[in-house]
Structure 1
Amino acid sequence: MQFAIVLCVYLLSGFFVVRGNETAVVRRFGAAVKNANGEVRLWPSGWHYDCPWPFASVDRVKLNEIRTLSVGNLEQDEPSQSGFLRSVDPARQAQFLSGDKNILNVQISVSYRVSDSAIGDFLFAAVSPERRLRTLAESVLADAMLHSGVDFVHTLGRNELRELMTSRLQRLAAEQRLGLTVDDVTIGNVSPPLRVKAEFIDVMNARADKETAINQARAYSEQREAEARATAQRAKDAAEVIRRQSVESAKAESESFSKLIAQLRSDEQSGRRSYAEARQLTLRRKYLDTLEEVLRKVAAKVVLDSGQAIDLTILREQKAGSR
């Protein structure tokens, strides 16, 4: 009777529970139970039964759980300071050599999860998959730092560096059958070594001054270019106005002269006066008009009282019969 009770209890120990956020894999006689297609069989949440121990064992895995591992310096000794110039504990620092021969303390966080399609690799194919993933992350970070400069790591290329390390870790994890899926790599703190922090501050200040000077010079250059363009446009517009006025004035004078010539020839044909007489009369009238216009602009006029006549004639009348 006691044997029957013990046997019954032993057989009942084959029942096992899989929680809602877990997936189970059963191993019978040390080998994982597989489906007909050869893949590892996954047991969903709920009550299940299989052979009791030691004939079978159950491995429970949280597939949807996002896990995180950190490489490098993670904690901050002084919460009030953050970023590039915070204090670093030398005992916990992780130093990497950059491509421009600088040493930096760099920290990254890798977000990953167990792959539902490769849970067999996670449980059986890989030895300490999470430890191997950490080693891969350190290797990828060291290689990325070696091909990057301080400016690229600190500010300019963080996003590009993050994408590069994420893709490389995803590829390496799949190639080495870790059974893990890398979701993202986050670059945390980037800090200079304590011994050279002052020099880094000087470099950063010099870089900031340089950027300020460049921006000011660029703004001044753009302002002068705009002023030069405006001045050139005003000169161009003024020249265009003068050109149009000159062209219109020349056209008007040309039309007036053409009408005058036509009038002279008409007078000659009608017999009122000869062409030479009409021409001489016209020249005299032009002379008087011009003289009147010139004298109007003269600021001072001198009247001579010498008792002698002054001849101001420029165009004299032609004698009869002369050409």
Structure 2
Amino acid sequence: MAWNEPGGGQRDPWSGNGGGEQGPPDLDEVVRKLQERLSSLFGGNQPPGGAGSSGGRSGGGGQLSTRLIGVGIGLLIAIWLLTGFYIVGPAERGVEMRFGRYADTTMPGLHWHVPVPIESLVKVNVDEVSTLTHRAAMLTQDENIVEVELTVQSRIQDAADYLFQDQDPERTLNDATVTVARVVIGQSKLDFVMTEGRGAVAVTIKERIQNLMERYKTGLIVTSVNMQPAKPPEQVKAAFDDAIKAREDKERLENQAEAYSNEVLPSARGNAARILADAKAYRDRVIASAEGEAARFLAVLTEYSKAPDVTRQRLYLETMETVLSQNGKVVLDVTEGANNLLYLPIDQLMKQTQTPAAPAAAQPSSTGPLVMPERVEPPQRTVDRERRVR
């Protein structure tokens, strides 16, 4: 049975006594009990009920309010301190400012600073590359006008200088590029700028721009300067194109001549070295042959001095053998007083039969007299008589 149903007896929880009539709950008593419970939770020891209950409620409420305010203030301070943590990315630098003045530069990672309004933070991307393009007509050293286009790439090197030392670093970079480009082009001749000097001009411009950036403490570093091919004014562009083409033809012919020279000279040097080597080999061969002949002659002379007759006969036989082996003559050994012997050179006749036959008798010519072929006489053979050396 519920406490507010008829016959519930003494189950009314809002009643302070054991009996009595049922009625609406006392709101002041409910508030008092809630305050007592809250006081007990936060360490209060307010005595329940009895005399001086009004003063007890008043003192408990003041203590509770004070504690709640302290807890709230503590939570706010903790949250305020937690807002001082920050993370700097790999491509960033953190610039801490204390009351608007530069304090420190932090590297990538987790850091903490005194939260706003005491200190503030600015993150700067130091890996981002900025590109600046400048195009203008400039006057060269030889008083010619040329159109130049430059592309300057830069990035932030010092975040503190970039934020506090120069009011507008990008504008300073633009002004420095214009100034340096006009000075460098004005100190160079037109042919040098338009041909082989383009790379050197770009390097000089980059170095001078960087010097100005460091002097003004802009915090920027120039990473590259690219210079497009310089162009002459449109009014004289055709003449400039002809001059450039002639210069290119000159360079091409010079390169061809250099290539031909590099090809011919090594070949000539090789031929000269080969001729010198052949001459040296011939000299050595002749000297060796002469020395051998001299040594052989001295050896024969030594033998001749020992046995003149035998040496003389041996030399004669060797000489005749050498001569007759290379001669077509035939030597017949006949006794003294014998008749001559007829020798038929069959080997020579065989050689003649293998040669082309003589032309036949010439036919009568309508334009001249008859021409007879010459008679071919057989070769004469000499029969020498030599006495056999015994």
Report TM bin, short chain.
0.5 to 0.7
Q: Which has the larger radius of gyration?
A: 2
Deviation string 1:5-51 (CA, Å, 9 cap, x unpaired) is xxx9xxx9xx89999668455473xx42425xxxx789999998423
Instruction: Using structure 2 for the length normalisation, give the TM-score.
Output: 0.51
Pair 1:293–1:135, CA change in 2 (3 A) = farther
Instruction: State the shift of 1:210 in Å.
Output: 0.6
Label 1:224 to 1:47 Cα distance change in 2 as closer, same or farther (>3 A): closer
Asked if structure 1 preserves the Cα contact closer than 8 Å seen for 2:162 and 2:169, the reply is yes
Q: Which amino acid is 2:134 matched to?
A: V
1:176 matched to which residue of 2? 216
- Residue among 87, 92, 111 paired with 2:153: 111
Which residue matches 2:240?
Answer: 200
Cα distance in 2 for residues equivalent to 1:240 and 1:289: 34
1:187 to 207, 227, 236: 227
Displacement of 1:105: 1.0
Contact kept? 1:133, 1:173, Cα under 8 Å: yes
Contact 2:96 2:103 in 1 (8 A): no
The higher relative CO (CA closer than 8 Å, separation ≥ 6) is in: 1
Q: Which runs of 5+ in 2 are unaligned?
A: 1-75, 329-378, 383-390
Q: CA separation of 1:211/1:138 partners in 2, compared to 1, >3 Å: closer, same or farther?
A: same
Provide the secondary structure at the position in 2 that maps to 1:190. Answer: coil
Secondary structure (helix, strand or coil) at the match of 1:178 reads: coil
Give structure 1 stretches of 5+ with no counterpart: 1-7, 73-93, 305-323
TM-score, normalisation: structure 1: 0.60
After superposition, where does 1:122-133 map in structure 2 within 5 Å?
122-133=162-173
**Are the aligned partners of 1:18 and 1:24 in contact in 2 as well (CA < 8 Å)?**
no
In structure 2, what is the equivalent of residue 69 of structure 1?
132
- Partner of residue 51 from structure 1, selected from 117, 142, 148: 117
Q: What is the Cα deviation at residue 254 of structure 1?
A: 0.5
- 1:169, 1:149 → 2: CA distance? 21
1:32 alignment partner in structure 2: 101
Letter matched to residue 214 of structure 1: E
CA shift, 1:211, in A, is 1.5
- Residues of 2 paired with 1:258 and 1:123: CA distance? 108
- Cα RMSD of the aligned pairs, angstroms, is 4.2
- Residues 1:32 and 1:189: Cα distance change in structure 2 (over 3 Å): farther
Q: One-letter code of the match for 2:203?
A: E
Q: Percent identity among equivalent residues?
A: 29
User: Distance in 1 between the 2:292 and 2:243 partners?
Assistant: 73
TM-superposed CA distance for 1:62, in Å, is 3.7
Distance 1:57 1:22 in 2: 14
- Aligned-partner SS, 2:224: strand
